[in-house]
Amino acid sequence: MVKRPAKPPKSIGLQQEPEPAVRSQARRPRDRDQPQLPFDPIPSRVEPCLAKLAVEPPNGDEWAFEVKWDGYRLALHNDGRSIRILTRNGHDWTQRFPALERAIAALHVSTVILDGEAVVLDDQGRSDFNALQNALGGRGGKKATGGEVVFYAFDLLYFDGHDLTRMALDERRHMLEDLIGEPGGTIRLSEEVAADGKAFLEAACNLGLEGIIAKRRDKPYRPGRNGDWLKIKCVSRETFVVIGYEPSTKLPGAIANLMLAAQRGEELVYVGSVGTGFSFAQATELKTRLDNLKVATPAAPVRAKRAVFVRPALEAEIEFRAWTNDGKLRHASYKGMRDKADRGSVYSLDE
């Protein structure tokens, strides 16, 4: 015998109950500064993704291209309570960039971390590293910059309570483009250039720019020099350690050249000297600073008759054309000193 299905229990709607056992929660006004979705704690610092040096631009639609800006890498943090501006190595430079502090506070967002480059532009719209250093009061200076500094944002790492570093670059860029306002403000978008890499590099070099950056569109934001980002330069420009100088025989109280070293593993290796690119005022100021660092023995093996050796405490930004067969810089030109808060990028011969 086939059994008949059990009779379903009688359904009673809540509205028919004289005293409902379950009542709906009264709606509360939404706090617009607090996302209602699960959120990620904002990190105190994000270790930066760094560009690896390449000889030629890569090919393929998976690569995006931007201008290589010549300034100080910064991360702008707004956690909803305070604003911090951090250098690449995590030093707090908020007090040195008051215009950037005001600009990030004015963004219509509750919490955010922007990655980008602080620069000063010349009259042709090119970033000028020396001008930026002067705005900061020189190497080691404590001067607060003015309105001449602009920030080119090229990545969005945290937004409205959410960690975006696990997302692909294309997705992060889409959100960044919506966040940054019209061109011309203190915080500007580092534009993606729709061009073939080789053609863009040629155009950048013709305009007197330092070079270009190539980035994988499909990659998350990964710290370190892992190859997701590449830098291709018109003229080679790197950071070297100052290990000594030769005094000028024509200008009393000035240097004739700086002696430079690169990193090879845990050791320093002498890579030649630079005697152009600094003014008389800079040459005398450098001698005064270096005389306070004198040592008897050089930090790297070097032969020089008139050399004054110094403790390897200063790092110089040097532009050069090529390397000689014996591993020395060719046609080197001095561009400025790196502040200790922006260190961590001394040229490595292992690269």
Q: CA-CA distances (angstroms) from residue 53 to 87, 93, 125, 147, 195?
A: 21, 27, 24, 32, 20
The rounded distance, in Å, linking the Cα atoms of 216 and 228 is: 5
Q: Would you call 68 a catalytic residue per the annotation? A: yes
Whether 39 and 46 have beta carbons less than 8 Å apart is answered as no
Closest C-alpha among 43, 32, 119, 41 to residue 77? 43
Beta strands in the chain (DSSP E): 52-53, 63-67, 72-78, 83-87, 112-120, 149-159, 162-163, 187-189, 211-216, 229-233, 236-247, 255-264, 267-274, 308-320, 322-323, 329-330, 333-338
CA 257, distance to chain mean position in Å, is 29
Task: Show the tokens assigned to 310.
Answer: 């110094």
Closest C-alpha among 274, 282, 289 to residue 334? 274
Q: CA-CA distances (angstroms) from residue 318 to 90, 169, 239, 272, 276?
A: 24, 31, 6, 11, 10
Q: CA-CA distances (angstroms) from residue 234 to 118, 248, 287?
A: 21, 31, 31
DSSP, res 68? -
Q: Which of 10, 52, 68, 250 is catalytic?
A: 68
Task: Show the tokens assigned to 56.
Answer: 């030629």
List active site positions. 68
